[in-house]
Every structure is written in C-alpha cells, then in structure tokens.
C-alpha cells in the first residue's frame, strides 16, 4: 500500500560528551560495565555496544584512562583495522563490579528524558494526517459502511481517544488493527531512557518491530548511521491488551535484582496505538481504568513513580482505542465519557453487506455459493433471531460447512441441510441441563 506520509525527523547523533546531558559518572560506569560484560576491547566494539559514535566513545575512554580505570594493550592485528586495544585495569574491574552491584544495566547508553521528550514531539501521533484512501486501503479486507469511515477518519487523524462499542463479533478488533496499518510510517524508540540517574528500558522486541538497518563497517570509527543509535527505528508501535489488563500494568516495573525499571505498556506504545480490547472484562471496573487515563488523555502527559516514591512526568503520545461490547452508559459515568474524544458505534451489517461478506469469505475458502442454501439461511434461519446479522457469522457458518464436507468426504458445497447443521453450532439453546 502506498502511504503518503512525511518522514519523521530522526534524532541527531551526539557530537561530543557535552551534548549527552547525562551524569558523567553514569556514562563512565555504563561503559565500564559493558566492557566487563561483553569483553569489548576496541573503540569500534565498545562504541557499537554502548550505541554511541566512535568519537564520543573515544572521549569516554580517554577520561577513564586518565582515572586509571582503562589501559591500552597495544595495536591489534590487521583484522581489527589496526585499532588500539583497551582493557580494564584492576581498579577498572573493581569499579565495574561495584557499579554492577548498584545497577545491572549495561549496553546502550540511555537517552535523558528531556531529550526523549523532544523526539516524541518530532514524531507525534498527532502529526499524522490519514487520508480516506489510506484508511480505505488498510480496511480493504473489511466490508464497512461509508458512514463508519466518515467517523473513523477524523478520529484517527486527531490522534485522540476513541471508544468503539457495539454487539460482539462485528469486527471492532479488526477495525483497530486496520487503523494501525493505516499509519504506515516509522518512529524512533530508545533502548532506554534516564531520569534522576535511574534507567528505564523502553525498546521491547515483543512490542516494537524494528526496521532493518544497513550494518556499519566494524573497522570504521565514522559510523554511517544517520541517526542517534541509542534509538531503534521501528514501525509505529501497537500494544493490544484485553481482559488481562490491570492497573498495575500501567506503572513502572521495577526489577529489584537488576535495579532497573521497565517502561509500562502505554510508554512503550508512544507514537503509536494502545488498544484496550474487551473493556469491561478486566478485573478492575472500566470506570477505574478510565480514571487512570484521565490526565494522560487530557494533558498528553502521564505521571509515573519511582521506588523512592518520587513522581515524574513522561510524554503521553498515544492513540488510545477502547473497544467494548457493553453500552457506554452501562460502564461509564458521563464525566468519563466526556474525556473520550470520539465514540463510534460498530453495528452488525445490514442484509446487503452480510451477503457481500458471505460471498467474499466463500470465495476465499473455495466454497461455491448455492442459491437454495442462501434463501434458506435468510428466509428460515435469520428470522428466528430477528434478522440480526453479525460480521463473524459468514466465516463461522462457512468454516462449519467445510468441516462437515471434509468429515463426510464430499466436495465443498452448501445446502439447506448443511446450513442447518452449521447453524446449530453457532448458538447454544437456552435449556435446562438435567443433572
């Protein structure tokens, strides 16, 4: 699909230690821990491990040499580009072990929270303008009324909160995924951020899909990467949660062994989408979940807390999509509903769209259509449920008929009898069970 999106401005690489805006001792200790843990012994290896340009890494090494924590081992062989080799002195090893006892974090140098905040603004979800063509293209596999796209388009382009509600089985989750696909461009996600000397890891390969990068020449001190390599270039992230979502999952996760923090789900989804599916199925009441989101949704910032009890602000730059099978008035008060910017009802299809979906699914599954079977379905079966159609039903019925055909050893086909057999599995009769 062709997306007409403006490329996000990349985070510029630091040109010297003065631009890092991190405590100098913290940077030195992370480098020492990384050398100790990874056995890196050349500037290019150390630079790649701590994700800094070679020139900035050399400044750190020179500082550590002056403090007698690192020493040169002499020129290495030609395979290393005749680079100078370095190793930790006994004092350097002792310092690395001491630093590891305070925090196990090593590797990519963290990005200060204030610097990260600048990048979040550059790649804000609210900077995206999704066109009708983009949204239609991303939803191409769904049969949706035009009036629904009329509502979804402005909601996505605004980058605000959306509540989708309506009866189950009508594609609220599929629509959420289609919105994600419509975004189309990339953002930069830091491996970790720093606040008040604490490291908070952000990049998560489960949540973030990295974009393949051209490898740097390991023998070159001049890194070709055109952006700060403390970040990973990724597709805009999507976090999907369902009934398992709890309020604790929206807090910083502290690892007492490593003495580091992990970003909560909404921080990992910065610049992307956070989907709360099946709202109303969580242990906490929906009202409590919405109350937790009120400040972030209104002020574009979230408040997190450290183990010490100190609170601090982080950017909240996420399109939040709530999806529920309940009527909003059943699960929210009016104050909560006011805070959700767009409220969109997702109804079942009318008969015309139901038949379009049925024909599309049958074609994909290799199931020939049969007029008598369809007439039986529409004139006999659906009146028993007041002609209420749902988007999931064509897939369910056709897959049931395919299973029956395969069991009976007959070619794929549909008939009134097969419709009846498939229908009997779609609903459970409300009858007493004799014990």
Question: What pLDDT is recorded for position 310?
Answer: 95
pLDDT band at 193 (very low <50, low <70, confident <90, very high): very high
Residue percentage of the chain with pLDDT more than 70:
92
Digit-coded pLDDT (tens) for 203-228 = 999 999 998 876 555 455 454 557 99
Range name among 279-293, 299-313, 345-359 with the lowest pLDDT average: 279-293
Inform me whether the pLDDT recorded for 38 exceeds 90. yes
Q: Are residues 89 and 128 in the same domain?
A: no
Closest CA to 266 of 214, 212, 204, 221: 204
The enclosing H or E element of 241 equals strand 238-241
Q: Report the relative pairing of strands 260-262 and 253-255 from DSSP bridges.
A: antiparallel
Asked whether residue 1 carries a pLDDT value surpassing 50, the answer given is no
Domain contains 6: no
Question: Mean pLDDT over residues 85-100, rounded?
Answer: 95
What's the helix, strand, coil split of the chain in %, to 5?
45, 15, 40
pTM confidence score: 0.82
| Mean pLDDT, the chain, integer | 88
User: Given a cut of 60, is residue 199 above it in pLDDT?
Assistant: yes
Q: Is the pLDDT of residue 278 over 90?
A: no
Environment class of 15 (CB within 10 Å of its CB; exposed 0-12, middle 13-18, buried 19+): exposed
Tell me the pLDDT tens digit for each residue of 364-384. Answer: 999 999 999 999 999 999 999
Task: Give the whole-angstrom CA distance, residue 433 versus residue 21.
Answer: 69
Distance CA 116, CA 113 (A): 5
**Whole-number Å distance between alpha carbons of 380 and 374:** 10
Question: Considering 107, 134, 150, which residue would you say is the last residue of a domain?
Answer: 107
- What is the distance in angstroms between the CA of the first residue and the CA of the last residue of the chain? 57
Compute CA distances 122 → 6, 186, 226, 271, 403, whole Å: 11, 12, 16, 10, 51
Position 75 pLDDT exceeds 90: no
Last residue of one domain, picked from the residues 48, 82, 107 = 107
User: What pLDDT score was predicted for residue 138?
Assistant: 83
Which residue, 112, 150, 147, is CA-closest to 24?
112
Per-residue pLDDT band for 409 (boundaries 50, 70, 90) equals: very high
From 286, 275, 284, select the one nearest 330 (Cα to Cα).
Answer: 286
Asked whether residue 10 is assigned to any structural domain, the reply reads no
Q: Does residue 333 share a domain with residue 364?
A: no
- DSSP-derived letter for residue 165 is E
The pLDDT confidence band at residue 4, using thresholds 50, 70 and 90, is very low
433 lies in some domain: no
Contacts of 324 (CB under 8 A, 6+ apart): 163, 164, 165, 278, 279, 280, 286, 331
Is residue 18 assigned to a domain? no
Number of domains, the chain: 3
The per-residue pLDDT for range 116-149, each reduced to its tens digit, is: 999 999 999 988 888 888 888 888 777 887 788 8
Listed in sequence order, the residues at least 6 apart from 239 whose beta carbon sits closer than 8 Å to its beta carbon are 207, 265, 266, 268, 269, 272, 273, 274, 275
175 has pLDDT over 90: no
Spatial separation of the C-alpha atoms in residues 406 and 418, rounded to whole Å: 12
Residue 164 domain flag: yes
Is residue 153 one of the residues assigned to a domain? yes
What pLDDT score was predicted for residue 102? Answer: 93
Structure confidence by residue, pLDDT tens digits, 253-262? 999 988 999 9
Whether residue 79 is predicted with pLDDT greater than 80 in this model: the reply is no
What was the pLDDT predicted at 217? Answer: 53
**CATH code for the domain in which residue 259 is found:** 3.40.50.300
Task: Name the residue range of residue 76's domain.
Answer: 23-107
pLDDT at 192: 97
């Amino acid at each position: 699909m062709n997306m007409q999106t403006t490329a996000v401005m990349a985070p510029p690489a630091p040109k010297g230690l003065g631009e890092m805006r991190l405590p100098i001792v913290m940077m030195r200790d992370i480098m020492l821990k990384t050398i100790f843990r990874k056995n890196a012994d050349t500037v290019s290896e150390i630079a790649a491990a701590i994700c800094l340009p070679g020139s900035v890494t050399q400044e750190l090494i020179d500082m550590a040499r002056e403090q007698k924590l690192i020493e040169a081992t002499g020129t290495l062989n030609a395979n290393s580009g005749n680079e100078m080799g370095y190793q930790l002195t006994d004092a350097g090893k002792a310092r690395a072990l001491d630093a590891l006892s305070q925090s196990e974090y090593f590797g990519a140098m963290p990005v200060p929270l204030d610097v990260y905040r600048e990048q979040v603004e550059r790649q804000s979800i609210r900077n995206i303008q999704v066109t009708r063509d983009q949204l239609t293209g991303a939803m191409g596999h769904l049969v949706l009324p035009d009036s629904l796209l009329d509502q979804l388009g402005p909601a996505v382009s605004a980058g605000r909160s959306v509540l989708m509600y309506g009866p189950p089985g009508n594609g609220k989750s599929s629509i959420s995924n289609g919105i994600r696909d419509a975004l189309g461009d990339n953002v930069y996600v830091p491996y970790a951020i720093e606040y008040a000397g604490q490291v908070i890891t952000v990049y998560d390969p489960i949540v973030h899909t990295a974009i393949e990068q051209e490898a740097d020449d390991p023998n070159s001190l001049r890194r070709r990467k055109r952006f700060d390599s403390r970040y990973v270039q990724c597709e805009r992230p999507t976090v999907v949660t369902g009934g398992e979502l709890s309020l604790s999952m929206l807090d910083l996760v502290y690892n007492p062994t490593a003495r580091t923090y992990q970003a909560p789900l909404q921080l990992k989804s910065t610049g992307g989408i956070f989907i709360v599916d099946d709202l109303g199925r969580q242990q906490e009441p929906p009202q409590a979940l919405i109350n937790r989101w009120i400040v972030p949704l209104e002020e574009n910032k979230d408040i997190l807390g450290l183990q010490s009890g100190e609170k601090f602000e982080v950017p909240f730059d996420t399109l939040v999509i709530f999806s529920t099978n309940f009527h909003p008035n059943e699960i929210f008060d009016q104050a909560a509903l006011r805070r959700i910017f767009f409220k969109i009802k997702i109804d079942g299809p009318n008969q015309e769209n139901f038949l379009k979906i049925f024909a599309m699914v049958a074609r994909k599954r290799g199931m020939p259509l049969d007029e008598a079977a369809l007439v039986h379905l529409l004139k006999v079966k659906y009146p028993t449920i007041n002609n209420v159609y749902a988007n999931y039903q064509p897939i369910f019925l056709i897959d049931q008929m395919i299973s029956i055909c395969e069991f009976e050893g007959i070619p794929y086909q549909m008939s009134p009898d097969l419709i009846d057999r498939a229908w009997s599995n779609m609903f459970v009769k409300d009858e007493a069970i004799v014990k």
